[in-house]
Structure 1
Amino acid sequence: MEGALRRSELAVIPIERSTVTAADRTLRFLFDLQFFGIKAGLENIREILEFLGNPERRFPAVHIAGTNGKGSTASMIASILTAAGYRTGLYTSPHLIEFSERIRIDGKPIARKEIVRYARSMRSRIEKIKATFFEATTAMAFKYFADNEVDVAVIETGLGGRWDATNVITPLVSVITNIGLEHTEYLGSTISRIAFEKGGIIKPGRPCVTGARQPAAIKRLRSIAKKRGANLIRVDRASSVEIVNRSIDRLEVNLRSKGSDYDRLTISLAGDHQARNGQLALLAIRQLDQKGAFRRISRPAVRSGMRSIRRYAGLRGRLELVHDEPPVIADVAHNPDSIATLIDSLRRLVRGNFLTVFGVMRDKDYRRMIRQLSEISRLVVAVRARTERALETSTIVENFQAAGTSAIDGGSVARGAAMALKAAGAGEWILVTGSHYVVGELLIFLNGGVET
């Protein structure tokens, strides 16, 4: 979730240097904007963008919303476009380690000096209108993409869709990955209402690809699309997928859709759920191809992009093997739906139960997540990420024990991960999950505590 976060939640580990640099001061300025919270409406982002010369009008875009799978689907689309030779911007959130991960061109993060330059150029207007963190960073991304003359940008929403700061673009195609009950305090407490909010990214006359399944969600999205003259493309009706091979670092699938069948297509992400994200990505790519402006999207480019997602888009923390001995899997699943998907994929890949390192935000449905993880965990090490939103480790331990699973207090993510590495039995796998912030701190720990 973006907008209502506090400063410490985005600076996963405080920057420790002997001298404070201009980039450090700039990032602190941006993080401090989170005290303005969430603001419904697009007036602020429009004012900043007008101040910058409306950079969002200078590149074509793909817009992506949904409860889960946004980051993976966005990265697949961006990776294919980069592989096809297009200069491709990618805007996602949150980051795992460095702020610069959010804004990329052809997989390369924005340079720290560029963050400083763009923040300085916008600072007076940001302060005047009291813009939020996400409004400011979205404007920065759009200006950066326009100045660097990207051929196309793939833009992920932060929260919802209708009032999300990214919803000032008119994309060539929109993607709504799925609809789940999350952020109900902002988006509503029913599937239909949440679908209404996320369906806000559907634009007049522009196709929308969706993987939503619930009848209430489909009914709402169909109604929005009809009113706006947009073609709603349902993934299950427009394509099919068969998994032919799975491993801890990839999938092989047979993917079928009208005019674009792929046999033994390699997706360089683990987990059966990535097959569905792959369907969404390829249907969106097909819509771009049909627009006529992206003639270089060839079958070899699709195959190259799908097998090089981390290289071309920088995606990490999605059922990722981050340590070999003992094997450690990190996944950013942070709600019951994504935890259920994670467990289903793990059961198909790894035999036996896990030593689980778990930390979660207190505003999530953590009790349900704990009950789910209890089914696959021999022992749980409870950890607390360095953010005010993180749930106390004592509460995590109590809930796991109430569910009949042994649990111990690991303290910080780094300390808990170190405990898990020492406690793992022969051949036992370690799972680290529950939050982007937990996975981010784990990666820093495994990298020797150095931010990358």
Structure 2
Amino acid sequence: MSKNTPISFTQEAYQEALDWLFVQMPNYQIDGQKAYKPGLENITKLCDFFGNSQEKLKMIHIGGTNGKGSTSNMLASVLQEQGYIVGLYNSPHLIDFTERIKINGNNCKKEFVFDFIQKLRNIPEEILPSFFEFTTIMSFEYFYQKKVDFAIIEVGLGGRLDSTNIIKPLVSAITNVDLDHQNILGETLEEIATEKAGIVKNNIPIISGDERDLVKNIIQQKAIENHSEFIDATRISTDLETDLKGNYQKKNIRVVLALVDELRKQNIKISESAVENGLMKVHQNTKFIGRWFQFSENPLIICDTAHNQAGLEMVFAQLNAIDKYKHIVLGFVNDKKIDEVLKILPKNAQYYFVKPSISRGRNPKEYEDLLISAKIDFQIFETVDAGFQAAKIKCKTEEMIFVGGSNFVVGEFLEKNL
């Protein structure tokens, strides 16, 4: 991409620009740990360069190991039901890059993405942003230009050193803390909770959705140090339901209700009907998919992006409660501890292990010995689609298919079949 030649938008030019972006910039989604750029120095320079649009927005910051995507989409849906224009920044995307940046359920315009990528040509060479840093500033600028009432920002990875942590939100939330990305965030729950609690800011309320005292205490201590109100969402009792059907969503609903309560304290109008309707219309309002997503009814096909041990345990428990023989399509990335996952696999199932098509995707042949030792009925496939098609052929009407293990497996499945 030349620094001086202006390029007009076409679908082909857009795809070339996007391909260039993925290749040029360190990208955790593709490259893993080596792409992770901890610290706020880079994003601070980047925001300064683009005029600090994040300082002109009313923002809500949502972190946590699991549930932050669901929680942010539920809250967005509630605010939309109240009539607000709501920006939503999530990652990673499942099918299309523009899913990361939405306003009232509509993906960011490709023309905006294209034009913003062109601006990379003028960034001072010493900044060298990561892929996530660049998409973060892209979301700030898009929400500012579109004059959203609120921008809900999901933490990318960790919290303390995540590039989203440059914002000064109205309120922050940490849905929960579990073991994930230990090679970056630390090996213990305490270390990871400390990193997540890094989003706590001076005099800004923090909501905690984790039920364990160990995690609560770490977040509460951080709140005390920052003179911030600590709000324990686990104390909330509710019968409200959501159209997001994972059993684990009950815990996320409590965090959403705590967020709503805090926003109301700040004189932001949110009616009870907006809460009830918003929770029940998440798919419709935000186009959120991939979390206990029922792809079809006959045969029953469900996919879920759960990918760490805690998330998979919850999903597999819900799978075990379904009285059907299961065909389970699973794939993982390179840092996954396969031996731990194998201990919690549902019984009464045929397995189809697949390789996600990204460079970090792990070839099941590498862990075939573990699969044999686990004494499960399995086959290995080179691609997600090959595994799914094999499962589809074998699946009888009264049986079911599950697709999961990684965001990338679910993304590939949906891209091919939606």
Identify whether the pair has TM-score above 0.5, normalized to the shorter chain: yes
Whether contact under 8 Å (2:298, 2:397) holds in the other structure is no
Specify the alignment match of 2:12 in structure 1.
21
1:436 aligned onto 2:403? no
CA distance in 2, matches of 1:167, 1:291: 21
1:192 is matched with which residue?
Answer: 190
1:271 — aligned with what?
Answer: 246
Which of the residues 62, 83, 106 maps onto 1:64? 62
Equivalences for residues 252-291 of structure 1 within 5 A = 254=239, 265-291=240-266
1:167 is paired with a residue of what secondary structure?
helix
Matched with 2:293 is: 320
Deviations 1:344-375 (A, max 9, x none): 22334x113411001011202222112212x3
For residue 369 of structure 1, what is the amino acid of its counterpart? Answer: V
TM-score by length of 1: 0.86
Q: Please point out which of 340, 345, 360 is paired with 2:313.
A: 340
Q: Which residue of 1 aligns with 2:372?
A: 401
CA distance in 1, matches of 2:301, 2:309: 21
- How many Å apart are 1:126 and its aligned residue? 6.6
Query: Could you report, residue by residue, the CA deviation over 1:151-182 in whole angstroms, capped at 9, with x for unpaired residues?
Result: 00110011000010000111111110111111
The RMSD of aligned alpha carbons is 1.6
| Preserved CA contact (<8 Å) 2:179 2:308 | no
CA distance in 2, matches of 1:329, 1:366: 22
What's the counterpart of residue 240 of structure 1? 237
Q: C-alpha distance in 2, partners of 1:139/1:334?
A: 27
SS at match of 1:323: strand
1:385-424, CA deviations, whole angstroms, 9 ceiling, x for partnerless residues?
1111111122354433321211001220111111110011
* Aligned residues of 1:397 and 1:408 also touching (Cα < 8 A): no
Q: For residue 416 of structure 1, what is the aligned residue in structure 2?
A: 387
2:347 aligned with 1:376 = yes
Q: CA deviation at 1:320?
A: 0.8
Between the aligned partners of 2:187 and 2:210, the Cα distance in structure 1 is: 17
Q: Distance in 2 between matches of 1:159 and 1:99?
A: 18
Is the CA contact 1:331–1:432 (under 8 Å) kept in the aligned structure 2? yes
Q: Report what 2:42 is aligned to.
A: 44
Q: Matches of 1:356 and 1:46 in 2, distance apart?
A: 44
TM-score, normalised with respect to structure 2? 0.93
The SS at the match of 2:357 is: coil
Aligned to 2:26: 34
Report how far residue 128 of structure 1 moved: 4.2
Deviations 1:16-56 (CA, angstroms, capped at 9, x unpaired): xxx97221122122212026712221111111111111000
- Match of residue 284 from structure 2: 311
- Counterpart of 2:117, as a letter, is A
2:7 aligned residue = none
Q: Which residue of 2 aligns with 1:385?
A: 356
SS in 2 for 1:277: helix
Aligned mates of 2:348, 2:64 — CA distance in 1? 29
Cα distance in 2, alignment partners of residues 352 and 274 from structure 1: 23
**Secondary structure at 2:184 match in 1:** helix
1:397–1:358 distance in 2 versus 1, CA, 3 Å: farther
* 2:273 paired with 1:300: yes
Please give the per-residue CA displacement for 1:77-116, whole angstroms capped at 9, x wherever unaligned.
1111111111000000000000000000001000111101
- Distance in 2 (alpha carbons) for counterparts of 1:92 and 1:331: 16
Q: Do the aligned partners of residues 62 and 389 (structure 1) sit closer, same or farther apart at CA in structure 2, a change above 3 Å counting?
A: same
Distance 1:162 1:266, change over 3 A: same
Q: How does 1:78-227 map to 2 (within 5 A)?
A: 78-125=76-123, 127-227=125-225
CA apart distance, 1:187: 0.9
Moved more, 334-343 or 322-331: 322-331
Unpaired runs of at least 5, structure 1 = 1-18, 242-253, 255-264, 448-452
The CA distance in 2 between the partners of 1:377 and 1:162, in whole Å, is: 42
User: 1:313, 1:399 → 2: CA distance?
Assistant: 40
Structure 2, unpaired ranges of 5+ = 1-9, 28-33
Q: Secondary structure at the match of 1:345?
A: helix
Q: Is the 8 A contact 2:299 2:398 kept in 1?
A: yes
Deviation at 1:432?
A: 0.5
Secondary structure of the residue that 1:372 maps to in structure 2? coil
Would the alpha carbon gap of residues 153 and 422 (structure 1) be closer, same or farther in structure 2, given more than 3 Å must change?
same
1:215 to 1:266, Cα distance in 2 relative to 1, 3 A? closer
1:303: Cα distance to partner?
Answer: 1.4
State the aligned residue count: 402
Conserved 8 A contact 1:383-1:410: yes
Give the Cα–Cα distance (whole angstroms) in 2 for the partners of residues 126 and 406 of structure 1: 55
Task: Describe the shift of the 1:123–1:303 C-alpha distance in structure 2 as closer, same or farther (beyond 3 A).
Answer: farther
